[in-house]
Amino acid sequence: MTTRMNHLLGLEGVSREQIQTILDLGREFKAVGQRRIKKVPTLRGITVVLMFIEPSTRTRMSFEVAAKRLSADTLAFTASTSALSKGETLLDTTQNIMAMKPDVIVLRHAFSGAPHFLAKNVDAAVVNAGDGQHEHPTQALLDMFTMQEKKGSLEGLEVAIVGDIRHSRVALSNLWGLTTMGAKVRVAGPRTMLPPFLDRFGPSVTVHDRIEPAIEGADVVMMLRIQKERMGKDLFPSDREYARFFGLDDVKLRLAKPDAIVMHPGPMNRGVEITPEVADGGRSVILEQVENGVAVRMAVLYLLSAHLLEGA
Amino acid sequence: MPGKTLVEKQIIMDAATLDAALDRMVEALVPLVAGGKSCLVGIQTGGAHLARRLQERFGARGLPTPPLGVLDITLYRDDTFLGLQQPVVRHTDVPFETSGLDVILVDDVLYTGRTIRAALDALVDFGRPRLIRLAVLVDRGLREYPIQADVTGATIGTVASETVQVELTEMGCATERVVIYERESR
């Protein structure tokens, strides 16, 4: 029996058993997406609000497809069309949305902690779809799903995460999730992009200021997007210099295990953190990550709604 | 079942009668599907085991072996969330095209009919069968939906406080049997 989930705000504190439940369910939901009729009636009558107060196309679409394949109704609320730009607070906006009685709110927000604030103040399940520089739990879940699918088990897996670790919510969620699941994580990036808090993860996480030792012998190489919009000039000299020292190309990839897979959460800066040859090469699972994202988000929506309607 | 305990009340079938019942079921199924290409689809988990056994028996009689699928109906249930624990989603695998086939849907116990209603919805999402026949090992009555089996291993009368379990070696049971238990509050 799994402890039931009320919200999914991050992977910090989520148990190994809960993560495994989501990954196992994801496998069944992936099969639904491969059928002729890619839809099951399970969440009929459930309303999912997609509240994206920060630009995002793929994550929003992924959640929308996930909800629709479960027969839930979706409402999209994006920053450009919202009243937030007219000065309304997040809580006021949310209370207006609550009048429409949504069961699940999927929130993307530029401020770390916004989903936690929402979860305390509304009577709906909240899913964090990325909050500032904090967490992006469903991205890490789809990453772990993909690794498990390709490698069989996460236990003892050597995973390299390369790029701007400091500003990356994808990296942080993966660090929490992967260490909980027994994987070993090597993070690498320029010193200006490495956060100070990594010792809290203990000996299963190692930190490198060069890419080579991080990817040497790795089972998985995850490249992060260089988020130019989030950093000043002092962190980042030039695209070309970054590509030379930290970009993944065929030569550097040879250091990883021969069967290593290459991942990227997208959108990619081709020629900066990853060369087109690697991104489109035989070891890249980048497009499978997108497909798996829908399956994992279906699992999350299902588990959260199962709790909501329990005893209804 | 929280706060409830199961007390064994009556054994409906032992290993030998269960074996004979499966033989009778195959015999009854053969003319029902004689007109077309058939397949077996078992409902997780008891029905899936029984469907596999029926498949073997088709082969043992020198008949063409129908392909086998397994169906989990959790995502199609109408009571998924009604006070139950978090429902477990089991594996669904129908690895062939069902359109135009005669589908033999197999379950262990037929009770309210709700499981079969869900299974029919699930099946039609996979394709458009020529026809669907229902085969169950035990029909325990107390239907809530207008559904009936085409082939039945045994028909028994029960009351709602009872539960009927088909115990097979595939489920890790040492002895094969069909048992009526009484649910008693602790």
Q: What is the CATH number of the domain that holds A146?
A: 3.40.50.1370
By C-alpha distance, the chain B residue nearest A37 is B125
Kindly state the tokens that stand for A147.
């690794």
Domain annotation covers residue A1: no
Q: What is the largest CA-CA distance in chain B?
A: 52
Same domain, A158 and A279: yes
Q: Which helix (H) or strand (E) holds B89?
A: none
Q: Could you tell me which residues are beta bridge partners of residue A74?
A: A48
> What residue ranges of chain A have pLDDT lower than 70?
1-4, 80-87, 229-235, 307-312
Same domain, A121 and A50: yes
**pLDDT value at residue B83:** 45
Same domain, A82 and A158: no
Same domain, A132 and A143: no
Domain annotation covers residue A128: yes
Kindly state the tokens that stand for A191.
């010193």
Asked if B176 contacts B46 with a C-beta cutoff of 8 angstroms, the reply is no
Same domain, A187 and A301: no
Q: B94 CA to chain A: closest CA distance, Å?
A: 10
Residues contacting residue A255 through CB under 8 Å, at least 6 positions apart: A212, A215, A216, A217, A218
Same domain, A297 and A277: no
Interchain contact, A28 vs B125, CB within 8 Å? no
Q: What class does CATH assign to B20-156?
A: alpha beta
Angle, CA B153 vertex, CA B69 and CA B55 arms, to 5°: 30
Same domain, A279 and A294: no
Question: Tens digits of per-residue pLDDT, B14-42?
Answer: 999 999 999 999 999 988 877 779 999 99
**pLDDT value at residue B80:** 59
The domain of A112 spans: 16-136+290-309
Domain annotation covers residue A7: no
The reply to whether B84 touches chain A by the CB within 8 Å rule is yes
Domain annotation covers residue A3: no
Count of domains for chain A: 2
Interchain contact, A28 vs B89, CB within 8 Å? yes
Interchain contact, A31 vs B92, CB within 8 Å? yes
d(CA B170, CA B79): 27
Same domain, A87 and A153: no
Tell which B residues from 113 to 172 touch A, by Cβ distance under 8 Å: 121-122, 125-127
Same domain, A104 and A175: no
Interchain contact, A306 vs B76, CB within 8 Å? no
Q: A136 CA to chain B: closest CA distance, Å?
A: 25
Question: Domain coordinates of chain B in residue numbers?
Answer: 20-156
Interchain contact, B81 vs A303, CB within 8 Å? no
**pLDDT value at residue A40:** 94
Of the candidates B75, B81, B89, the beta carbon closest to that of A310 is on: B81
- Average pLDDT of the residues in B57-74: 91
d(CA A64, CA A49): 9
- Does pLDDT of B85 surpass 90? no
d(CA A125, CA A104): 5
Domain annotation covers residue A111: yes
B91 CB neighbours in chain A (<8 A) are 28
Q: pTM for the complete prediction? A: 0.88
B72 CB neighbours in chain A (<8 A) are 28
Domain annotation covers residue A27: yes
**pLDDT value at residue A1:** 41
Of the candidates A4, A41, A311, the beta carbon closest to that of B86 is on: A4
Domain annotation covers residue A2: no
Same domain, A180 and A54: no
Same domain, A103 and A29: yes
Of the candidates A70, A303, A311, the beta carbon closest to that of B83 is on: A311
B71 CB neighbours in chain A (<8 A) are none
**Residue burial A81-90, b: 16+ Cβ < 10 Å; e: rest:** eeebeeeeeb
By C-alpha distance, the chain B residue nearest A311 is B83
What integer best gives the mean pLDDT of chain B? 91
**pLDDT value at residue A85:** 62
HSE, side-chain direction, 13 A CA sphere, residue A236: 22
By C-alpha distance, the chain A residue nearest B127 is A36
d(CA A175, CA B181): 49
Same domain, A198 and A96: no
By C-alpha distance, the chain A residue nearest B90 is A28
Domain annotation covers residue A4: no
HEC sequence for chain A: CCCCCCCECCCCCCCHHHHHHHHHHHHHHHHHHCCCCCCCCCCCCCEEEEEEECCCCHHHHHHHHHHHHCCCEEEEEEHHHCHHHHCCCHHHHHHHHHCCCCCEEEEEECCCCHHHHHHHHCCCEEEEEEECCCECHHHHHHHHHHHHHHHCCCCCCEEEEECCCCCCHHHHHHHHHHHHCCCEEEEECCHHHCCCCHHHHHHHEEEECCHHHHHCCCCEEEECCCCHHHCCHHHCCCHHHHHHHHCECHHHHCCCCCCCEEECCCCCCECCCECHHHHCCCCECHHHHHHHHHHHHHHHHHHHHHHHHCCC
Q: A196 CA to chain B: closest CA distance, Å?
A: 39
Q: B129 CA to chain A: closest CA distance, Å?
A: 14
Q: A246 CA to chain B: closest CA distance, Å?
A: 42
